[in-house]
Amino acid sequence: MRDASTPQQTIMVCDQAQTAALLDFTELIDAIARAARELDTGTLLSPERMVVPLGEGGVLLSMPATAQDIAIHKLVNVLPGNAQRNLPTINGVVTVCDAATGKVVCLLDGPEVTGRRTAAVTMLAIRTFLEHAPRDILLVGTGAQSRYHVQAIHALYPDAKIWVRGRDLSSAVTFCDRNRELHRHLEGVGSSAPEVDVVITATTSTEPVYDEPGRGGCLVVGVGAFKPEMAEIGKVTLDSSAIYVDEPEGARHEAGDLLRAGVDGSKVTSLASALKDGVDRSRPAVFKSVGTAAWDLAAARVVLAALANNPV
């Protein structure tokens, strides 16, 4: 970990490996639950993210959030064409500041924060909406976000079996072979899969990749689609399920799954409300996550606590 020094202050800069080491999944889940409550009461502010076109088909995303203790600004660039260049699709940084003084405390790796906090939101949804620890999970997608979900599932539910579905059986099997060191209970599947407790879609598809009737005791989580033109979960699933979202305001503009299916926004419940009021876990449930800088702020809190306990 290196220091970028000025006469006024010292800023701690954490690379990807250091950021990962500071973000324990269990701590992160609890921090996100706290942030969800604060977001609901207005003590944490996270305005709609700014999206600016960048390069060939890419976007620059600016996402600030402030609370009574800290503030953060995540700036990330998403360039899908980088896959053809053998470069990361996402690059960026999270700036963490002290709320009282405005002093910049540290810089975190943006993609690592994003990947871990997104997977942690899914784990919080599982904890909130499922009656028991999941035994079987269907993971749709074979990209970076699916890898983060494998890590999170292993941290929280090491005995769960993860069935992986990709564009085809070959891509699913390849993903499992490459990530078996993260979780040994991985198996690729084609179009059919056994009955599972949780379905997680982590793709950037513009067409639904999961559209089965809702089933009591089964949770469907959509995390990949973050633009109105994207859609992972189909109308059949949505029409037969209770629908929850991580951040209602963002979902109204960015949850393409819900927009395409014509979901009535008044019938959508926030994560904060579910945490506060509880849920009927016997009902089919869909949890749609579009992301918010509030979750990045939660991650920053985990990092600062870890650094306070283990100074470098």
Q: What is the rounded distance in angstroms from the CA atom of residue 295 to the CA atom of residue 301?
A: 10
Residues of the chain where predicted confidence (pLDDT) is lower than 70: 1-9, 311-312
Cβ neighbours, 10 Å, residue 196 = 21
Place of tokens 């997977």: 119
| d(C-alpha 84, C-alpha 55), whole Å | 14
Measured CA to CA, the distance from residue 63 to residue 176 in angstroms comes to 33
How far is the C-alpha of 93 from the C-alpha of 29, rounded, in Å? Answer: 21
Other CB atoms within 10 A of residue 104 CB: 19
Q: What is the DSSP letter of 223?
A: -
- Residues 27-60: tens digit of each pLDDT: 999 999 999 999 999 999 999 889 899 988 889 9
pLDDT value of position 3: 54
Bridge partners for 109 per DSSP? 93
pLDDT tens by residue, 184-195: 999 999 888 789
Nearest to 33 by CA among 96, 108, 95, 126: 126
CA 131 to chain centre: 21
This prediction has a pTM of 0.92
The owner of tokens 């449930």 is: 285
Alpha-carbon Rg for the chain in angstroms: 19
